[in-house]
Every structure is written in C-alpha cells, then in structure tokens.
Structure 1
Amino acid sequence: MPPKKLSSLPTKERTLFGRLIQEYESKKHKQGLKTADAILKKFPDHGETLCMKGLLLASVNRREEGIELAKKGVRFDLTSFICWHALGILNRMDKNYEEAIKCYGQALRIEGGGNLNLLRESAFMHLQLRDYPPLVDKRLTLLKMQPHVRSNWVGLAVAHHLAGNHEEAARVLTGYQDVMRDIPKRNYEHSEILLYHASILQEMNEHVKAEQFLEANKARILDTKAYSEILAQSLAKQGKVEEAEKIWRGLIDRNPECKAYFVGLLSVRGIDLESRSDPGKSDEALALFAEIQEKHPRSTAAKRLSLVFARGEEFHKLASAYLRNGLTKGIPSIYSDLKSLYQDDAKREAIEVIAESLRSEWSPKVEEGTDATDPPSSYMWCLYYLAQHYSQQPGKVERALQYINSAISHSPTQPELHMIKARVLKRGGDLQGASFAMSDARLLDGQDRYLNSKAAKYLLRIDEVEEAVKTVGLFTKPDAPDPVSDLNEMQALWYLVEEAESHVRKGETGLALKRLHQVDRVFQEVYDDQLDFHSYCLRKMTMRAYVSTIRFEDDLRSHPQYLRAALDLIRIHLDLFDRPSSSVDGEGDKGGKNGEAAALSEEEKKKLAKKAKKAELRAAAASATGGDKKKSNAADAKASGNNDEEEVPPPLEDKDPMGEELLKKTEADPLGEAEKFLGVLMRMAGRRVETWTAAFEVWYRRNNWVGCLSALNRVKALSADHPDLNEMIVRIKRVDLSNLSQPAKSVVEKGLKGLVEPEEKSLEVVAVEGMQRSPASAEHVLGSAKALFTLRGAEAKRDVLELVLGLTREEVGCSLKTLIKAREFLKNKVKAAEEEIQRFDQEGSKVFPLADVFKRHEELKEYRRVKLEERDGWNVGREEEQE
C-alpha cells in the first residue's frame, strides 16, 4: 500500500493534521505528539505526519530521534515540500546549516520557488554561512515578490554590503527612499536606515556624497550624536578643517570625557597619538587641551591625554597634579590608567619620583601639632600605587611587598590591598602566598563576586581544583548539578581555561581536554546565537549595530581566550602524539581512571575510590531532588491548567564527565585533531607568531616539510628576532629528504636555501647566532641552548647546562617566566640529573627568592601549614571581635 498524502487522507485525519500544525506553532508539543500518534495509528507511513512528529520530538529534547523520524518521513514522501521543510528546520536546530540549505532548496523547487518563509529561512542560512552570492539572489527574489515591505529592501542592501558591493547597497537604499512614502517625521527606524546609508557612503570614501546626504536628511535623523560623528569624519576627510573642528568641539561640549572625540579633534589638525615625538605637534596638542580644560575644568580625559604629549618639566607638573588628584580621591584604577605611559622610561621614572615624594609628604607625622591637609587615606592609596609600580619593575618585587604590607598595616580591612598583595606575590612567583592573600581579600567582603572569582583563579594556579570549585560555588546556582556546569552554562571562559591548565599540570589529560573543548563550544554557541539576530535586526532596523555584530562574529575566534585555549589543545595533542602510551602508563591522566594504578599508592587509590563514591552519591541525591522538584512543578502546572512547565526540556546528561571518551577519540588521531584547531587559528589569528610556531610543530610531526617552511617564513616575517627561530631552522635543515619525490624534494631544497643567509653558514653558527646577536636577551640564550641540543644531542649537554645555568646570574636580568621555561627544558628535553636541577633551583631562588618553582616540596608543605595557622588565628581574632 503506497504512503498516504495529505490530500488522500480521510476528512477526520486531515482535520487532525491541521490541528497538529497549529499545536506545533503554538508550542503545545505534548498535545501535538498525541495528535500525531492518532494519525499514525491508522496511517503509519504518512510522511508529512512523521516529519511533524520529528519536529515535535526535537522540541522536547529528543533531537536525534526526531531527525531520524523526519528522514523516514521524507523517504515515504519525496514530493512533499512540508517534509523537506520540516527536515530543514531540524537540521537548522542541529546547527547543520549546509544540510538545512539543501532541504530548503528542495522544498522551494517542489513548491515552485514562491514560498516566502522558505526564501527567508534560506537567506538566513546563507548569511549564517557567509555565502553571499546566493544570499543576494534570495533577497532579490523576496524584494521582487514583496516590494512594499521595507525589510526586504534593507535586507538586500545588507546582503550587498556584507558581500563587499557597497555601490549596489547604496543604490538599493536610494531606491528604498524613493519608494517609501508617508513616513512619519519622527520615525526612529527610518532615521537608522538613513544613518546606515551615510555609513556605507563613508566606507566607499564618498565623503562629499555622505556630507550632502546627511545635510539633505538632517530633519529626519533623530540620533544627533551619530549624525555629528559621521559628518565630522566626512568633513575631515575632505580637508574642511574649521567645519570639522567645530563639530568635534560641540561633541566634546556634550561629553568632555569621551577620548574618541579628543582624538577626532586632534586628527583634524593632523595630530595623532603617535605624534608625541614631534615637539611642534606636542606643543600644539597641549595648547589645545589647555584651552578645553579652561572650558571643562573637570574633564579627566583632557588631563589624561595631556600626559601623552607632555615631556620634561611640563610632564612632571601635569603628572604630579593628576596623580595627586587620583590618590587623594582614592581611585584604585589610577595605576592601570597610567600604566601605558611606562613605555617611555623617562615618564616612568618621573612618575616614580612623583609618587615617592607624595608618599613622603603624606606619611604619618610624629611631631605633635602637625596639621594634615589631605585625608588619611591618601597615604594608604599612595602605598597601594607604589606597590603596583614596583611589582612590575625587574628585581623590585620585595620592595613592592614592603609597601603593600605597610598599606595593610595602615588599613587591614581594605580588600583591595590584599588583592594587590596577591598580585605582587604572583609576580614574584609565590603562587601559594598569592592564593592565601587573595583568599584574605575575599573573606573581607564575602558578597563581592569579583573577589570570589579572583580567589578561585588563584586556587587553580596552585592546582587546588576542589577548593576552587567550592569557592566559585558560593555564587553559582544552588539548583545546578555542580558549580562547574553552571560556570560552563554562563560561559565563564576564565574559569574553564584556568581549570584546564591546572589539569594539564596534574597530568589529568581527559579533564583538561574536556574543559578546553567546552571553551571551543562556548565560542561556537556565541557564533550560533547570531542566527536569532538575522530576523530581529531587520525588523528593528538597527542596521549599523547589526553589521558591526556580523563583523565581530567573523573575527570571534581571534579572542585572546580562544587563542590561549586552542594553543593549549594543540600542545596536548602534540604531547599525546609524542607519548602515545601516556594515558596507559599513568603519565597522561592521573586524575581520571586511565593509568591511575601506575600513578597512585594503594592508600591514595582507596581515598580516590571513596571520593568518587561520595561524588556519585551526591549526584544521585541531586538527581533525585531535581526529579522530585520537576514532578512537583509538573503537578502544580497541571493543577493550574498551565502546561508551559511541562514543555521545558530537561538538561542534557553529561555522558563523559571525566573526558575519558574524548581522550580516546583524541588518541586515535592527535595530529588530525590538532590540525582542526590550527586551521581556525591560521584563519583568525594569522598575525600572531604563536600560531605559526604551533603550525611548525604540527607539520614537523606530519613530515610536511613544505608546510614547515611556510610556517618558518611567517615566523620570520612576524618576528625576525624570535628566540626559537634558529632552533626551528636547525631542525628543518637536518631532515632526511630521501623519501620525497623529486618535484617535492626540489621545492623543499629551494626553500631551505632561503632560510639562512649566506647559504654556506654552518648549523653550528646558526645555533648560536641568536645569542650573539642579542647578548643581553635571556630568551635568545635559551633559544641557542635549545638549538645546540637539537644539533648535537647529548654531546652538547655540558655546553647547554652552562648556558642555562648562566641565566640565573642576577646581572642577566632574566624574567621568571623564562627561567621556568629553562627549567622545563632541562628537565624534559635535556633529561638533566636531579643534582643539576637542584643546582639550577638554588641559583634561581637567589634571583627570585619568593618563587615556588625553585622550592622543594617539603618547603612548600611547611609554608602552607604556617599560612593555614595564620588564617586560623585571623579567623579566631575576627570571631572574638564580633563577640
């Protein structure tokens, strides 16, 4: 018996199918499923009903089952546009936009190409995929079908604009303004379209047309601020200095704290922030700022920008007044505000002199009868500033610590002071002490979520993951399965990345992969969320913000947190490739079930098993509580006759809580998984040198020598003095090309000749020339040590040890970060003996006496015990005060 079409269904079932459509559109999913089952009971092969049931199942969080059912329905009725439309919607819900487009296209062919809903949804899918030519075609078709709908005109203009065809976009908007009549005088949507049109003309560098357009439509543009900004920019580009300056001054009068307006005013006079090296331009800028300050004496922006151009005695005068005002008012962010000036050594030294003089002036006087004109807090905020100032200076961390301890003695209950103490200790390498200091700040203000988050971050940096979870759990939803799941839902990137790196340090590869993949999922969700705005912004006519959002989404994965997570993932994949048995021998996943027997003692195994059992019991209790609550909510909804609660899908179960399945999948092809993230970085972060050093490492293991040469050339172009460049050159020039075909071999040999100049230079010279070219750079010394070890292996061990140990001399001025890298190199690559590592630690601790990395485990354990005792005494003291 052939499957039944809607037209061939009996009258009763046709009525039921119409009701089924209405129930889906009104989101009565449970009722809709019952109606679909009633039809399928008599006609189980009815394709359209099967597809509608698939839609309803997907809406109640049974998406996989719904897609399979819809595919089955399509097979039963290949000529129904309803079936193809339903399958397209399901693919869109599943974020499978390519398949959704195919389904919509098939539905349009069956329907005849005149279905407005299908055309609109297809256009949105093409825009989601940035497939602009078919997007323009769909938008043009919609405009021809409904020329009276203004969103069709604007949609076509946006399509042309995003496709890079600005002239066509402007022409469409001109046609829209000619066609649309009887628009109210004060219409916000029309005002936004006019401003959008002007912005397109500005992007086309048609500044004369933009000016004329704005002047002609001035009465209809309601956003006067945006109007003035675009007009000022267009006038400035035409060289109409006086007119543009007048507008910028009017904008400054309107908002004297907007730095962008000051920058615009300076640009009219041919001055930018890089012109501070030109005395003439600097003097002109200072005179301009002085003039504005006479009119707006409270303008902080004018005062701050003056510091960019001032120099010598003028800078000392202005900076002294600015810093005194900020510290007197107790502005905590004053250091962050002035930090960018530290690029100029003369200005940094001048600020240091000013701050020290203010500290001496405000220090508590011992003589009787001394009157203090400034509030007592000024001295504390000055110490607060100086602590931050010295913590960033090489070799002055201990001095910074003295200042912040003095400030805490002055005002022990100020959370900001303890927070800065934590940062000072962190920069000195004392991560344990930093974590305790940040926890002190949190305990002083238990209702501050920022302090809570910072305390959790510092706990993760000392690998106290469980304590960090408890800490952040104070501010997460109480009904969430666990705090981490709630943070993942809230897209807390900082937490996910920090916890992942903690798991890497602990050898818990599965959990590290899980957290980093959650970061990737967050960015994918942000990208997918724009789908809702394609229709919303066309309705609201917020075109400028919409185009800005689309361009932001295009560069979404260039975000620093994504770059950090992707590089961490690539490093993990490379490590899995280099040590494929890591998850079996206990080196890779010590915290999970993989390799635990090899990594833990019997007593530790029992503790871990007991902890896991407790976690399972807690999860089961939470699940039971959630189930009871759900039943109660459903009962309440039923009693009140409201079925909305019943329609809310339950949260998805985490089928891989420890990341074990993800680890197995990654181990199957670690380089293939690494290349997925590498491809994203090359598209989105191609200007970052880290992207191409990672590309070199991946392609080197792939024996992709052409790719390695390409990556090296990009590294040279971005950073010709990169510390690891010579080591990579040594590695690539020592590869065996005998297995390559003759054409490939010729290409690689030609590329290798261009890496070193002159060509006859030996690899020994290449290995050490970085150190010779930059003798004062510790990073280049370490790079040369790596290159020598790569070139000569164990034979170079003595020379390498001498070079690396030399980094610990105080006169070298090596940073803590570089010393940590050097220690890892000695331990993991050189395989230095324990005595040699201890010697390095002893020398390193002389340069950075606070650093945990150079301390023995017993020292850290004792240090932690002392800190905990201090905390207990502090808590007892607080309880006594409260009593």
Structure 2
Amino acid sequence: MPQPLPAKESSLFRQVVKFYESKQYKKGLKSADQILKKHPNHGDTQAMKALILNSQGHGEEAFALGKLALKSDMKSHVCWHVYGLLWRSVKNYEEAVKAYKFALRIEPDSQNILRDLALLQCQIRDFEGYIESRRKILDARPQLRQNWTGLAIAYHLSGNYKQAEHILVTYEETLKTAPSKTDLEHSEATLYKNTVIAESGDTERALTHLHEVMKANLDKTAVLELKAKYQLQLDRKEDAAKTYRALLARNSEYRAYYDGLEKALSLDRSDDASIPKLKELYDGYANKNERNDAARRIPLDFLKGDEFKTAADQYLRRKLNKGVPSTFPNIKALYADAEKKAIIEDLVLGYASEKSMNGSADGKAHEEASQFADSVTYFLAQHYTYVRSRDLEKAMQYIERLLEKNPKSVDYNQIKARIWKHYGNTQKAADTINHARELDLKDRYINTKCAKYQLRNNENEKALETMSKFTRNEAVGGPLGDLHDMQCMWFLLEDGEAHMRQNNVGLALKRFTAIADIFEVWQEDQFDFHSFSLRKGQIRAYIDMVRWEDHLRDHPFFTRAALSAIKLYTRLYDNPDLAKGNSVDLNGLDAAERKKALKKLQKEQEKIKKAEADRKAAAAAKATAKADDGEVKKEDTDPKGEKLLQTKEPLEVALKFLTPLLELSSRNIEGQNLGFQVHLRRGKPLLAFKCLQAAKELDPSHPSVHKNAILLRNHLNNLKEPLPEPIAESIKQNFTTPPPTADVAALKALNDEYIKAHSSSPSHLHSAYDVRHHLDAASKSQNEDDLLKTLDLKGIELGEAAAGVGLLREWKSEGKVLDKYCEKARGKWDGAATFVR
C-alpha cells in the first residue's frame, strides 16, 4: 500500500499529478518539493518527481530518483508504474513490462496500469499477453464498446479470427437499442467485423453479412469495393461487373476499378480475341465523358500495331493540342515495348516536321498552332532525355529551340538541367536549375529540385541555403534543424550521399543515422494510435497501420540509407584512421610520414573543435530555447558526427542497419552483397554464405555472385583456426562452387575463365579484376591496365565508368593511374564531374 500523507500534502500530491498530466512541469516540481521537504522518503512523490524530470529531459536523474522511490516504498503500485514508464521512455520494453506486472500484483484492478501494459504488449507484438490484458480491461468495464473492440483486435492480430468475430457478435447482442444510422463508430465496427469474416476465409458469409449491413453503412464506397471484391472471388462475375460499373460511375479515373471490371468480364489483355471487346469497353467510357483520361490512356497498354498507332495518335494530339505538360510522363511507361516506343517517336516527329500534314495515322491535315508546336518540341526534348530513348544531343537541340522562344520558362530550364545531369555535368545541371529557380522564387517544387541538384554537385551549404527559403529558420539548429524536425528524408539522404562522396564520413553517418532515427520515431509513433484508434472507432485503418509498421523498414528511403551506412562502417573497419577524421589511408606510409600526417591531422582537428566551441557559445540562446510546454529544446551535441566515428565496433553498428535490411528487403541484391562483406569481416562464414546463396537465387549471373563465391572459398582456405564442426559440415555440404579442393591457382584459373566469358561486360570485368587483385596483390599493374581498356568497350555507360574510378581508389592506385583513367573517360563523357581530378 502507498505511504499515507496528511490531508494538506495529500491535496498537494493530487496537484502534482494534475500538473504532470497538463505538462505544467515547473509547478509540478515545486509542489513535489513542498511535499518532500516534510516527507523526504515518500515514494509516490519521489516517483512523480522522477516522471516530471524525465519529461524535461533529465533521464539519468529521473532513473536515480525512480529507484530511490522503489527503495522508499517497494509496495507502492505508483512507484512500480512510474518505473515502468521510465523504462518505456528509453525503449527498454522488457523491463517496462516487468515493472507494470509488479504494479498489477499490488493493484490488480488499476485500469491505468492495465491500459499501459496492454498498449505496450501490442507495441512489441506480444499478442497472447495483449489478449489477457484486454480481457481484464473488458471484465472491469464491459459497458464501453471500445473495450470489446480492443479484445476483438487482439484476437484478430493474433490470427484467431473466429474468436475475434465472436467478441464482436457478443457485444452486438448486448445492445438493447439499435445504434443510430449516423453512428460512425458502429458503421466502422460493422465493416471491421466484415473484414474479419473475410480474412477468416469465409468469403460467402462475408458477402452475405455485407448485404445485411450495406444499407445502414456510412462508407458507401468501401462497401461497394468489398462487395465487388467478394463477388469476384466467388466467381460471380456478372454481379461483380455491375458493382464495378457502379464504382466507375462514382470515380471513372480509378484504374483499379477498370482492372476489376476486366476480370469480371473475363477479358484477358494477352488474348487477341479479347482485344476488340476491351477496346469497345473503354471507348464506351471515353464517349460518356469528354474529360475522362483513364479510359483513353489504358487502351494504349494492350493495343498493338495499327490500332495502337491510331489510338496513340488520337491521345497524343488531344494532349499536345491542349498543351498538357505531363503528356510525356503519362505515356513513358509504354516505352518498355520497343515497337510502341518507335511508333510514338515516329508520330511525334511527324507532328514536328510536317507543315501541311500532321503526321497522324489517318493522314488528315491539321492547323499549325504555336501551342501545339511548342508542346511537340517539349515532348521530344523529354523523349530524348528519357533512358529508354536517350539521345542527349537531340534533347539539347529541342530544348534550346524552346528556350530561344521563351527563355524564362521554368519547365524548359528544368529539362535543360536534367539533360546536363544525364551528361554527368553536375555543375552545369546545378547552375541551370538554379537559374530556373530564380525565375519563380515562390515555387516550392523547383526550389527543392534545385537543392537536390546542388547536393548532387556536392554543394551542401548552397543546397541548405536554397532550402532555407521555405523552412522555419528560427528553429533550433536553423534550416537543417527544421528539416530534421519535418523529417525531410530526401534532403538528409542526398546530403549524406554528398558528404560520402567528399569523404566526410562523420557527417555522412550523421545523416544516415538521422534517417534510421526517423524510422524509429515512426515505429514509436504507433504507440499513441493503439488507444486513439479505439476511441475514434477507426479500426480498419488501425489494422492497416499495424501491418504497415511490421514492414516499415522495407521503405526505399531506409534501404538507401542503410546501404550507404553499411558501406561507410565497412570502410571504417578497413581503415580505422577514418575515425580520426582522415579521409586518406595512412597504411601505405612509412613510420615518419605517418607520424607527420597524424600530427598535422591533430592540429586540424583542434582547430575544428575550437571553431565548434565558438559556434556553440554563439548559439547558447537557441540551445536553451523553450517550446510552448516549457520543455527545453536541446541543441545537437554532435553536429559533425564525431561520436559516430569513434565507435570501436563499426561492424556491430553496421548490423543495426543490415539486420532489418536483410529481413525486410531480402530481394535487394546489393544488400545481400554488403551482408556478405560484413559477415566475412566478422569471421562468420556461414552467415556470409547465406547472403551469397540469397544473391545467387535472385540473380545467378550478377557480378557479385562470382566475386563473393571466390572470396569465400579463399577465406575458408586460409582460416587460422578450424570452424566449429556443425558450421564446417553445413558449409561443406552446401558450398560446392568453387569446389573445396580449389586452391589459389585453381581460383585464379576460374577467374580467368570468367573474364573470357564476360569480355564485353564492364561490370562483370570489374568484379573479376577485383577478385584477381584480392588473390594476387602483384597483379595490380595488370588490373589497372585492363581496367583502362574497359573504357573502349562498346556500350559502356557513365555509371560503369565511374565504378572504375571507385575500384582504382580501393586498390590505392597512384595518382597518375587515376589521372590517366579519368582523362580517357573525359574523352567519352566530357564535363562529367566523376572524372574531374
């Protein structure tokens, strides 16, 4: 039992609780201190003070006080509850759950503790425990619908659909009067019950139930979508077709409805017999609505030959006559088909070249119009910029024609910048897009595009200045701080990659870690929705959110940041001098030169630290800026990422990025390749082999598969200590290529055969030359010469040539070798920033 207080102090304690709940932390601390003056060992007051201190950011002090509170009163459920809240705040959920359970032993009927425990169990996906907690909450307050729904959700998420439905039905049977027709919570609950029935596999009963509730349900669109889905699954295609037509009457631009209608009508795009019926279907919808775009665009996906040419001609002329800027982005997906790409190109070139004839399929003449001519030229500029039809010289010619007419067009200047980007000339691309930005300073889109191009040109400060035009610059940390607060991940990614290119490893890691932290915030943000969604009755959206959170880190932004971070930590492991802020490998220097270089580096670091200290002193006011709730906003104590650099176990830190990457983005072959590299360095050959096997299943011809297989065999051949028997046996049985008997000479021979077999592929040759470098350091000169020859290969692309520069740096080639390679590359890609030395 909690320690009793006199009436006055008891009233003060209730005020402390209220002040905490209303975030009036200063008043709460003042009241708590008043109590503790007279009763210094009152556990509940100490616990509440600890909770307030924790909310103010004084975590260590709060934990110390929380432990003291438990010593003062071990039998207080308040102290244990607060102790659990403190652990939850630092994301140690196991300890938090233990503390909540201790609190419940003392006060088993506390709804607050039960609720907090249930929410945490759902957060960590302990569904068995969640069911138990939800059942106790329901037993205590069965009059609340949200308690019934909460238990149903617990069963649903655990996969027990039958019991989830039973709970929902039981509640409905307890209702004495039917809910109002405008009761949104009831409307959502009935649809939720319907989805539970459907997910249990009983589609027939789900459809029957839907018919029973559809008239009274408020979400008519959702009802129709579910109805059409069930009818299609039950093969009631005639009924499904009617339902999809009803949906199209509500929204005739939604492609999913057209896809459903096609299935309901048994129309197959790959079946030539279905094409006339498909065309008739879409023509009917196009004729119904003059402004309908989907019904005119979708047929271009399945029509072929002359029919495609006629339809494409009509569609393009319609859009180009109106001067629709998005015409090319809307049809570029068709370029995956070479025949369709050629037809579109012929048509649009016809529009551009014919004066008396419009170059259309039926040969009808059209009237020259300035808008049409400009639209055609703009389309062609984008056409020749696009990767599947790229001809940058032609693209530049077309865009220059437009700029002669209208030099102040933001769109035209943006396309010109894109052309320079594809040339590899990031400087001209950044300058051109900046010119476009200056033409319309109020356009947020072109402003962010400009910042992106500047980052691609490694102009980090300039990009931040550009972004500051649309950020809240009075925020703590200035524009960058606001971008962090707004979770502007594209900027953080590009900024990190720019720093990575400049060998600013600390800052690069800082950005990639910030992105990982944002995903952690998203993971934490779901916590509030466990209760909020129940209160508001938004159950279907809540279930979708929970399932989305389970796959949160397969997001492309996280994948991209994780890949870059792993590369940096691997580099940090290979070259520990990077932790001292040195971007140059010192291993090749003799003792005297190394000592001199390190001394110089130390002076530079001291200079940077002094400048940083001055900056912090100048920003002291901002560092103590307060939010509306009185909470102090802390300034970043490691703005340069120096603490991240100082890690003594870079590979272990890399695992924090690698583990979710391999679990949730297992089909990313680059992730598997990096996983192989990390595990091999960690001395975990079995895990490395698993990554190799996963990559092989994804793409057996990928260059990394050959390289990693040989490196793994070479690693196994040179083990200092034998592997544990189970691991050795598993590798022996499953890893047979190259064979266990292959020595260095045999591996070299295999690699030479690989070079002959892939003599025209730059990426495969790069991989083979790197293998040769690892097997025989004396082959460095030959590798450099052979790498130079890859620039003569027909079809070599800019990215592949740039990868050659990366290889030379990995091999620690001399400056003159790099200069020679870059000079030759500039002959093909003049102005490309990658080859500027």
Q: TM-score, normalised by structure 2?
A: 0.91
Does the 8 A contact of 1:48 with 1:80 survive in 2?
Answer: yes
Alignment of 1:328 onto 2:285: no
SS at match of 1:219: coil
User: Once the two structures are aligned, what percentage of the paired residues are identical?
Assistant: 34
Alignment of 1:377 onto 2:377: no
Alignment of 1:679 onto 2:659: yes
The residue number in structure 2 matching 1:880 is none
> CA deviation digits over 1:538-581, x for unaligned, max 9?
01111111111111111111111111111111111110111112
The one-letter code sitting in structure 2 at the alignment partner of 1:786 is D
Among 262, 278, 285, the alignment partner of 2:271 is 278
- 1:453-468 equivalences under 5 Å are 453-468=448-463
The residue number in structure 2 matching 1:650 is 632
The one-letter code sitting in structure 2 at the alignment partner of 1:706 is L
The residue number in structure 2 matching 1:359 is 352
> CA deviation digits over 1:173-213, x for unaligned, max 9?
22222223421123211111111122222223321111100
Does the 8 A contact of 1:723 with 1:770 survive in 2?
Answer: no
How far is the alpha carbon of 1:170 from its aligned partner? 2.2
Alignment of 1:487 onto 2:480: no
- Taking only aligned residues, the RMSD between alpha carbons, in angstroms, comes to 3.0
> CA deviation digits over 1:457-477, x for unaligned, max 9?
211122211211211112111
The one-letter code sitting in structure 1 at the alignment partner of 2:442 is Q
How far is the alpha carbon of 1:706 from its aligned partner? 1.0
Change (3 A) 1:54 1:46: same
Change (3 A) 1:845 1:706: same
The residue number in structure 2 matching 1:837 is 818
Change (3 A) 1:299 1:768: farther
Change (3 A) 1:421 1:675: same
Alignment of 1:240 onto 2:236: yes
The residue number in structure 2 matching 1:847 is 828
How far is the alpha carbon of 1:707 from its aligned partner? 1.2
The one-letter code sitting in structure 2 at the alignment partner of 1:827 is R
How far is the alpha carbon of 1:372 from its aligned partner? 8.4
Q: 2: CA distance between counterparts of 1:52 and 1:484? A: 35
The residue number in structure 2 matching 1:266 is 262
Change (3 A) 1:211 1:413: same
Q: 2: CA distance between counterparts of 1:101 and 1:544? A: 27
How far is the alpha carbon of 1:240 from its aligned partner? 0.6
Q: 1: CA distance between counterparts of 2:610 and 2:354? A: 59
The one-letter code sitting in structure 2 at the alignment partner of 1:343 is A
- 1:727-876 equivalences under 5 Å are 727-735=707-715, 736-737=718-719, 739-741=721-723, 743=725, 744-754=727-737, 762-764=746-748, 766-768=750-752, 770=754, 776-795=760-779, 797-798=781-782, 800-801=783-784, 803-809=786-792, 812-829=794-811, 831-855=812-836, 857=837
Does the 8 A contact of 2:623 with 2:635 survive in 1?
Answer: no
Does the 8 A contact of 1:54 with 1:70 survive in 2?
Answer: yes
The residue number in structure 2 matching 1:348 is 341
Q: 1: CA distance between counterparts of 2:121 and 2:596? A: 52
SS at match of 1:649: coil
Does the 8 A contact of 2:703 with 2:767 survive in 1?
Answer: yes
Alignment of 1:71 onto 2:55: no
Does the 8 A contact of 1:425 with 1:433 survive in 2?
Answer: yes
- 1:699-714 equivalences under 5 Å are 699-714=679-694
Alignment of 1:103 onto 2:103: no
Q: 2: CA distance between counterparts of 1:599 and 1:333? A: 55
The one-letter code sitting in structure 1 at the alignment partner of 2:830 is P
How far is the alpha carbon of 1:687 from its aligned partner? 2.0
Q: 1: CA distance between counterparts of 2:300 and 2:595? A: 59
How far is the alpha carbon of 1:599 from its aligned partner? 9.2
The residue number in structure 1 matching 2:590 is none
Q: 1: CA distance between counterparts of 2:49 and 2:686? A: 52
How far is the alpha carbon of 1:620 from its aligned partner? 4.4
Change (3 A) 1:339 1:601: farther
Among 293, 304, 310, the alignment partner of 1:311 is 304
Q: 1: CA distance between counterparts of 2:679 and 2:470? A: 44
The residue number in structure 2 matching 1:661 is 643
How far is the alpha carbon of 1:48 from its aligned partner? 0.8
How far is the alpha carbon of 1:344 from its aligned partner? 1.0
How far is the alpha carbon of 1:336 from its aligned partner? 2.0
The one-letter code sitting in structure 1 at the alignment partner of 2:778 is A
The residue number in structure 1 matching 2:361 is none
Change (3 A) 1:625 1:523: closer
Does the 8 A contact of 1:286 with 1:309 survive in 2?
Answer: no
The residue number in structure 2 matching 1:432 is 427
Does the 8 A contact of 1:387 with 1:400 survive in 2?
Answer: yes
How far is the alpha carbon of 1:835 from its aligned partner? 4.2
Which stretch has the larger CA shift, 200-209 or 373-382?
373-382
SS at match of 2:735: helix
The residue number in structure 2 matching 1:873 is none
Does the 8 A contact of 1:789 with 1:797 survive in 2?
Answer: no
Q: 1: CA distance between counterparts of 2:356 and 2:159? A: 62
How far is the alpha carbon of 1:618 from its aligned partner? 6.2
How far is the alpha carbon of 1:287 from its aligned partner? 2.7
Change (3 A) 1:839 1:21: closer
Which stretch has the larger CA shift, 98-107 or 770-779?
770-779
Does the 8 A contact of 1:809 with 1:847 survive in 2?
Answer: no
Change (3 A) 1:625 1:529: closer
Q: TM-score, normalised by structure 1?
A: 0.87
- 1:452-531 equivalences under 5 Å are 452-480=447-475, 481-531=477-527
Q: 2: CA distance between counterparts of 1:156 and 1:766? A: 61
Change (3 A) 1:350 1:527: same
Q: 1: CA distance between counterparts of 2:461 and 2:760? A: 42
Length, aligned pairs only? 816
The one-letter code sitting in structure 2 at the alignment partner of 1:388 is Q
The residue number in structure 1 matching 2:53 is 57
Q: 2: CA distance between counterparts of 1:560 and 1:122? A: 33
The residue number in structure 1 matching 2:151 is 156
SS at match of 1:186: coil
> CA deviation digits over 1:339-381, x for unaligned, max 9?
221111111111211221222247999xxxxx98465233333
Change (3 A) 1:771 1:420: farther
- 1:387-466 equivalences under 5 Å are 387-391=381-385, 392-393=387-388, 396-466=391-461
The one-letter code sitting in structure 2 at the alignment partner of 1:788 is R
Q: 1: CA distance between counterparts of 2:723 and 2:809? A: 39
> CA deviation digits over 1:679-721, x for unaligned, max 9?
1112221121122111100011112111111111100111111
Change (3 A) 1:600 1:478: farther
Does the 8 A contact of 1:449 with 1:475 survive in 2?
Answer: yes
Q: 2: CA distance between counterparts of 1:264 and 1:288? A: 13
Change (3 A) 1:482 1:818: same
How far is the alpha carbon of 1:750 from its aligned partner? 2.6
SS at match of 1:581: helix
SS at match of 1:446: coil
The residue number in structure 2 matching 1:879 is none
How far is the alpha carbon of 1:600 from its aligned partner? 12
> CA deviation digits over 1:759-787, x for unaligned, max 9?
99953454255555555533223223333
The residue number in structure 2 matching 1:89 is 85
How far is the alpha carbon of 1:582 from its aligned partner? 2.6
Q: 1: CA distance between counterparts of 2:527 and 2:463? A: 35
Alignment of 1:129 onto 2:124: yes
Q: 1: CA distance between counterparts of 2:210 and 2:494? A: 50
How far is the alpha carbon of 1:37 from its aligned partner? 0.7
Q: 2: CA distance between counterparts of 1:556 and 1:408? A: 44
Does the 8 A contact of 1:586 with 1:597 survive in 2?
Answer: no
